[in-house]
Chains A and B, each alone.
Chain A
Amino acid sequence: MGALLLRAGGAGRSVTGPGSGELEPRATSLFGDEEVALVDLLDRLLAGGVVLAGDLTISLAGVDLVRISLRALITSIAPVERPGTLAARAERADRELESGHG
Chain B
Amino acid sequence: MSDTLTYVYALARDVEPAAVGGLTGVGGGPVRLLTGDGVTAVVSDVDRGEFEERALEERLEDLEWLAATARAHHHVVDTLGHDHLVAPLALATVYFDDERVRAVLAEGRDTFAAALDRLAGRAEWGLKIYARKGGGAAAGAEAAKPTSGADYLRQRRKALRESETSLDDARAAAAEVDAEVSALAAATRSHRLQDAQLSGQSDPMVLNHAYLLPVERADELRALVASLGDHPRIRVEVTGPWVPYSFAQAAQGAP
A residues within 8 Å of B by Cβ? 1-3, 5-9, 16-17, 20, 23-32, 34, 36-56, 60, 64-68, 70, 72-74, 77-81, 83, 86-87, 89-90, 93-94, 96-97, 100-101
**Chain A residues, Cβ within 8 Å of B126:** 40, 43
User: Is the CB–CB distance between A41 and B199 below 8 Å?
Assistant: no
Please indicate which of the listed interface residues B161, B191, B195, B248 has the most CB atoms of chain A within 10 Å of its own CB: B195
User: Is the CB–CB distance between A31 and B153 below 8 Å?
Assistant: no
User: Is the CB–CB distance between A66 and B96 below 8 Å?
Assistant: yes
- Distance in Å from the Cβ of B183 to the closest Cβ of chain A? 21
With known contacts A39-B199, A81-B193, A6–B67 Cβ distance under 8 A = yes
User: Is the CB–CB distance between B249 and A54 below 8 Å?
Assistant: yes
Residue of B at shortest CB range from A11?
B200
- B17 near A: Cβ within 8 Å? no
B94-109 CB mask vs A (1 if < 8 Å, else 0) is 1110001000100010
User: Is the CB–CB distance between B153 and A52 below 8 Å?
Assistant: no
**Chain A residues, Cβ within 8 Å of B231:** none
Within 8 A of A (CB), among B74-111: 74-75, 78, 81-82, 87-96, 100, 104, 108, 111
Select one of A38, A81, A90 contacting B204, CB under 8 A: A81
Select one of A23, A50, A53, A101 contacting B68, CB under 8 A: A23
**Interface size in chain B (residues, C-beta < 8 A):** 82
User: Is the CB–CB distance between A80 and B192 below 8 Å?
Assistant: yes
User: Is the CB–CB distance between A39 and B66 below 8 Å?
Assistant: no
**Chain A residues, Cβ within 8 Å of B66:** 42, 70, 73
User: In the docked arrangement, what's the CA distance between A42 and B208, Å?
Assistant: 13
With known contacts A55-B254, A86-B160, A36–B74 Cβ distance under 8 A = yes
User: Is the CB–CB distance between B250 and A48 below 8 Å?
Assistant: no
The SS class assigned to the A binding surface is helix
User: In the docked arrangement, what's the CA distance between A79 and B246, Å?
Assistant: 21
- B243 near A: Cβ within 8 Å? yes
User: In the docked arrangement, what's the CA distance between A5 and B111, Å?
Assistant: 37
Given contacts A5-B64, A50-B248, A97-B150, could you give 11 more A-B pairs where the C-beta distance is less than 8 Å?
A23-B68, A24-B71, A29-B78, A38-B70, A42-B70, A44-B246, A49-B91, A53-B254, A73-B60, A78-B194, A100-B150
**Chain B residues, Cβ within 8 Å of A70:** 60, 66, 91-92
User: Is the CB–CB distance between B191 and A48 below 8 Å?
Assistant: yes
User: Is the CB–CB distance between B197 and A3 below 8 Å?
Assistant: yes
User: Is the CB–CB distance between A39 and B70 below 8 Å?
Assistant: no
With known contacts A6-B198, A30-B78, A64-B95, A50–B72 Cβ distance under 8 A = no
User: Is the CB–CB distance between A79 and B81 below 8 Å?
Assistant: no
- Distance in Å from the Cβ of B110 to the closest Cβ of chain A? 10
Select one of A41, A47, A87 contacting B74, CB under 8 A: A41
User: Is the CB–CB distance between B71 and A44 below 8 Å?
Assistant: no
- Distance in Å from the Cβ of B208 to the closest Cβ of chain A? 7
- Distance in Å from the Cβ of B10 to the closest Cβ of chain A? 9
Residue of B at shortest CB range from A44?
B245
Select one of B5, B197, B204, B240 contacting A29, CB under 8 A: B240
**Chain A residues, Cβ within 8 Å of B91:** 42, 45-46, 49, 68, 70
- Distance in Å from the Cβ of A5 to the closest Cβ of chain B? 5
User: Is the CB–CB distance between B67 and A38 below 8 Å?
Assistant: yes
User: In the docked arrangement, what's the CA distance between A48 and B243, Å?
Assistant: 12
- Distance in Å from the Cβ of B181 to the closest Cβ of chain A? 17
